[in-house]
Amino acid sequence: MNVNAAEIEGALSGILSGREERVKTRNACLSEGVFACQIALNIPGYPKRIQNDRQAIEKFAVLFCHEWGADPFLTENISNEAGLCWIGFFHGEPSDSQRAKKIAVGLEEGTPEGRIFDIDIIVKGISLSRSEMGLPSRSCILCGSPAKECARERNHPYTDLRDAVEKLIKNI
């Protein structure tokens, strides 16, 4: 597949604009005593939408709410060039958001399909990170090494990563 520089620039611009839309939506609803759970898919390359993505995100939103023990007081679904994402807003104190992050990581790591999800917990101004909470870093879906290292070193062809994601999402 031959892609020219203008197509790449256009795709990147769309993805960045889409991510900015997510941040604006979150920031409009976050306040003291409120955290957001944002569920999206880690889809390599472009386009950021793939078959069965909506059903997959909905399933993991239900799983998160079940593990959390309550439904959000507000939800937003955003579909744009950055892909599809679900954002649920929950009442809670800082310790609650830390428990929510542990639930999120458990869902990401608990099944093979969970590894293609990006479940972020955001409190006003910051996204809770795995490393700051002493949780393991995300592993590569192909080899199990730290995902950031594989991405930085470009250890795997894009097509192999995309095929792995598409195969995993079919199981959902």
Closest to 60 (Cα-Cα) out of 115, 5, 139: 115
In terms of residues, how long is the chain?
172
| pLDDT at position 13 | 85
| pLDDT at position 2 | 52
Distance between CA 101 and CA 94 in Å, rounded?
11
User: Which residues contact residue 63 at a Cβ distance below 8 angstroms, ignoring those fewer than 6 apart?
Assistant: 107
- The 10s digit of each residue's pLDDT in 24-75 is 888 888 888 999 999 999 998 889 999 999 999 999 999 999 999 999 999 9
Above 60 in pLDDT, residue 3?
no
> 3-state class of 111 per DSSP?
coil
This prediction's pTM: 0.88
- The 10s digit of each residue's pLDDT in 80-134 is 999 999 999 999 988 899 999 999 999 999 988 998 999 999 998 788 888 888 8
- Where do the DSSP E strands lie in 81-166? 83-91, 117-123, 126-127
Query: Kind and range of the H or E element at 106?
Result: helix 94-110
Where is pLDDT greater, at 90 or 1?
90
| pLDDT at position 111 | 86
Closest to 38 (Cα-Cα) out of 141, 95, 138, 107: 107
